[in-house]
Structure 1
Amino acid sequence: MKRILLSAFVFCLTVSAYSQNKTEPTPQWRPSYHFSAPTNWINDPNGLIYVNGVYHLYFQHNPFENKWGHMSWGHATSKDLIHWQNLPVAIPEVINGDTTTWIFSGSMVRDKDNTSGFCEDDNCLVAVYTADQPNQKKESQFIAYSNDGGLSFTNYKGNPVIDLNRHDFRDPNVFWHESTQKWVMAVALPASFKVRFYSSSDLKDWQMLSDFGPEGYATHVWECPFLVQLPVDGNKNKKKWVLFVSSGGPTGSPFMQYYIGDFDGKEFKNDNPSNKLLTLDHGDSFYAAIPWNDVPNQKSTYIGWMVPQDQQTYPWRGNMSIPRDLSLKTTKDGVRVYQEPASIISATTLKTFPKKTKFSGIKTLNNGEVVINEESTFRNNSNWIEAEIDLGSADIVGFKIAQQKGEQGQVVQETVVGYDLDKGQLYVDRSKSGSGKIAENKVIQTASLQPVNGKIKLQILVDNSTLEVFANNGEVVISTLIFPDKESNAIAVFANGGTAKVKKLTLYNLSEDQQPK
């Protein structure tokens, strides 16, 4: 998220007003299995690259303060997308006389054929990023290279590689386009609501190809574009290109939209009408997501920034979403994007956690609720819930998480993740989600959803303050933040207005003290 966005949108907060010295630590809201920096501010993921079995995550980072500023690229690595090793700042801001250069968002490629001429071996990494120079009110595209596995970078002496003399021109995302044997860049012209495409043979000299936009939602600035090709319904012989863009959204919340179409190496053409709005995440906190380059088996695995809300946290501020796999499926409305937690996590990493339980005793819910984490092991608000519920005659079914009740049984705190059959809506109700600050107009978040054969499937990832809900194998997602007290840690499954049947229910404990060594 960039300077113009910070001043333009309500959701970006008044971060400059926060005083680090007056802040109390908030360990109860620190995520356990979502990435956050040990200290200080983070925002957009940057430079995602998979090299030799390791996922590299670079990110916008202020190394000095718990607020936005001094933009540099932080760095962390992981082998399983849950356990992260924090590393020193990879690309720091540069101050040279009267010129300050902040290292804004961008991407990373492995230049295995040394097209750039920078490389000493086939693991050479080249970062392509936006250099923001606030004194000059200018943004241009720079490159830097690494021959030590991405730990440190040398800026190209010929920078900038693209300079339009604009104050809003940012977030280059680069990939190798096999058909044209060229590097292709998608970069945002934010205030014009456009994505511009460039190509290059050597990552240094770039030729403009075309512009896309404005289409879809074009009211708040566009940022962080990326373009990927995905098989439709798993058919590798039937593929579509998908263009993703981050923006402020119709409600002023962080928002990502996407377009499905074709890309011939020069132009992207949208399959849908230009005014068609396709929303990636229906919550109010998911933003600036980009994919890893070079993931095995051509998987499109990506990660987004969970945008901080009005509640301040300390000594860190901001964290990442769970990494997600993207796919395309044919629906009654046409081809649409689905997303689920990355398969390396759901199929492999989850199984390494020693604390999980499958519930076979709960068969029927009759207009009431049943607590599913009576055992103290699961009373920690870092849980992963997988469930399938037959709606039966119930009007509303779902879960109440981070719950606390008083002596008389009255609800003190809880967050409701529910499905309303009459409305055909998945919803998250944060009206009693804790003592943190939640904007009144964003208390309830919804997404249209239809049952499949009378059932709904839910994956609910609650991680202290981070909540992500995936429904019906990733057909819709709601990502948001909650702020429960430490004592608000019960989880209940419920049905209102009739009887529902719990077909499957698994609960994992992913708290930090339970993570495998």
Structure 2
Amino acid sequence: MLDPRPRAHITAPSGWLNDPNGLIHWRGEYHVFYQHNPFSTSWDAPHWGHVVSTDLVTWRHLPIALRPTTGGPDTDGCFSGCMVDDGGDAPLAIYTGVRNVGDELVQSTCLARATAGLRQLVAHHANPVVPGPPDSEATEGFRDPFVWREDDGWHQLVGSGSHRSGGIVYHYRSANLVDWECTGVFHRGLANPGDPMDTGIMWECPQLVRGLDADVLIVSVHDDSDVGRRKVVALSGRREGDAFKESGVDIVDHGSAFYAPAVTVDAAGRTLMWGWIQETQTSAGQMHQGWSGALTLPREVWIDESGALCSGPVAETSGLRTTLLLDKRVELAAGEHDSLLSDGAHAWVELTVDVSRGHGVELHVLSDPAGRESTIVRYDHAAEELVLDRSRSTLSSEAITTRERGPLTVTDG
């Protein structure tokens, strides 16, 4: 039986994993924290799990870095956040603390100082530094701070929701990371259920990618009415003072499993992004395997000349390729097929496909010899779509099989 745990993706040793948090490149090490429930494969009272790498390929698990503080503003969970270098001996984490008060879920911005070596996070005595939403417009959530520094001080974005416009992002300023002043709404969406760019009931995990001539605001669109409507959108535009002027919008990832990405800038000046890969199996299946969720491979993201967000695998992922298994040229007529590899559960496949004659192409992976199970990657030339077909990926009753699709226009064949 194949080990279902991915080899190259970050997973928790056991229990639940969701959003990546606190990304930072610190003294030669890449640190990735993540939302983690170590006690169960279902979501509850998040802690911060922790992995570290020097090459973005091989990861080492470290002890849980941040735990809820009994009686504190994060007593019921340490939600998502970021990490900044404020010139101290170790970085500072900024995250959302959650506390249940009666029927109300109080969400506030909290701080935690990393110990030397960045192995543990210790809650700040000033918590919470932002006790909650600045006004009555916020009707859904107030969480996932994203912080950066400029010449005029520190800036903070916090995701929320509005009864008037669906998702909104608040903007704050500070000189010292402890005392924060809200300057208003950084950007707001337009609630329009049914539209592919519907902004849902709130925006989570706001991230700002900076470019020379343009910026991109990334938000994760949350809607309790239908989990399948969760998506991540990139809002192109420009930050103007304490607000964002939008000029375009697009989907970051067309798969339904991708959510809550976070970004950081490393010592080489690259903007790196990780996202949460949600499980595609039932709760019983997750419980049976003992762990749930994974993070994407790291991506490098940048803004192109049109102001759109682009992404690709980081160069270091070439280190995952160790042995050349096959190198050949295949010419197939319509309806023909060819076997590339007969065994092996893990392979890096690079294909150059000529579809200039108007035909599509399919790549079947993880296929059993009897042909009962197979996962298909298909280019549909007529529809101009790339399709990931998991309808026959497994015979297991614990799996949720779907077809994912995204637009792909081929201009040169």
TM-score by length of 1: 0.71
- Name whichever of 391-400 and 319-328 sits farther off: 391-400
Structure 1: how far apart are the matches of 2:251 and 2:242?
25
Q: 1:218 aligns with which of 199, 206, 209?
A: 199
Q: 2:53 aligns with which of 78, 81, 85?
A: 78
Structure 2: how far apart are the matches of 1:155 and 1:225?
23
Aligned positions of 1:9-158 closer than 5 A: 28-96=3-71, 100-112=75-87, 119=88, 121=89, 124-135=90-101, 137-158=105-126
Structure 1: how far apart are the matches of 2:71 and 2:222?
33
- RMSD after superposition: 2.3
Aligned positions of 1:461-476 closer than 5 A: none
Tell whether the 8 Å contact from 2:141 to 2:202 is kept in structure 1 after alignment: no
1:452 matched residue in structure 2: 411
Deviations, residues 177-218 of structure 1 (Å, cap 9, x unaligned): 3xx432211110135510111121211111212311024522
Structure 2: how far apart are the matches of 1:202 and 1:448?
45
SS in 2 for 1:252: helix
SS in 1 for 2:42: coil
1:371 matched residue in structure 2: 339
Tell whether the 8 Å contact from 2:73 to 2:99 is kept in structure 1 after alignment: no
Deviations, residues 261-303 of structure 1 (Å, cap 9, x unaligned): 111341111113xxxx51111111000000124x023211110
1:342 matched residue in structure 2: 314
How far 1:429 sits from its partner (Å)? 1.3
Aligned positions of 1:297-308 closer than 5 A: 297-308=268-279
2:147 matched residue in structure 1: 174
Q: 1:414 aligns with which of 370, 374, 378?
A: 374
Aligned positions of 1:101-500 closer than 5 A: 101-112=76-87, 119=88, 121=89, 124-135=90-101, 137-164=105-132, 168-177=141-150, 180-190=151-161, 192-211=166-185, 212-215=187-190, 216-230=197-211, 238-248=212-222, 252-272=228-248, 277-293=249-265, 295-311=266-282, 312-313=285-286, 314-330=289-305, 334-346=306-318, 349-350=319-320, 353-374=321-342, 376=343, 379-380=344-345, 382-406=346-370, 411-436=371-396, 437-439=398-400, 443-454=402-413
The AA in structure 2 aligned to 1:58 is F
User: Which of the two has greater helix per residue?
Assistant: 1
Report sequence identity in percent. Answer: 28
Structure 2 regions of 5+ residues with no counterpart?
Answer: 191-196
- Name whichever of 96-105 and 149-158 sits farther off: 96-105
Tell whether the 8 Å contact from 1:107 to 1:174 is kept in structure 2 after alignment: yes
The AA in structure 2 aligned to 1:190 is G
How far 1:439 sits from its partner (Å)? 4.6
Tell whether the 8 Å contact from 2:73 to 2:98 is kept in structure 1 after alignment: no
How far 1:97 sits from its partner (Å)? 9.0
Tell whether the 8 Å contact from 2:75 to 2:97 is kept in structure 1 after alignment: no
1:7 matched residue in structure 2: none
Structure 1 regions of 5+ residues with no counterpart?
Answer: 1-25, 113-118, 231-237, 455-517
Tell whether the 8 Å contact from 1:183 to 1:201 is kept in structure 2 after alignment: yes
How far 1:354 sits from its partner (Å)? 2.6
Q: RCO greater where, 1 or 2, for CA within 8 Å and sep 6 or more?
A: 1
Tell whether the 8 Å contact from 2:45 to 2:77 is kept in structure 1 after alignment: yes
Tell whether the 8 Å contact from 1:256 to 1:279 is kept in structure 2 after alignment: yes
* Counterparts in 2 of 1:97 and 1:267: CA distance versus 1, 3 Å: closer
The AA in structure 2 aligned to 1:255 is K
2:194 matched residue in structure 1: none
Structure 2: how far apart are the matches of 1:265 and 1:77?
35
Tell whether the 8 Å contact from 1:190 to 1:222 is kept in structure 2 after alignment: yes
Runs of 4+ in 1 over 6 A off after TM superposition: none
How far 1:253 sits from its partner (Å)? 4.2
Tell whether the 8 Å contact from 1:161 to 1:205 is kept in structure 2 after alignment: yes
* Counterparts in 2 of 1:41 and 1:213: CA distance versus 1, 3 Å: same
Deviations, residues 5-63 of structure 1 (Å, cap 9, x unaligned): xxxxxxxxxxxxxxxxxxxxx96321111110111111100000001221100111112
Structure 1: how far apart are the matches of 2:75 and 2:390?
41
SS in 2 for 1:400: strand
Structure 2: how far apart are the matches of 1:98 and 1:48?
23
TM-score by length of 2: 0.88
User: Which of the two has greater strand per residue?
Assistant: 1
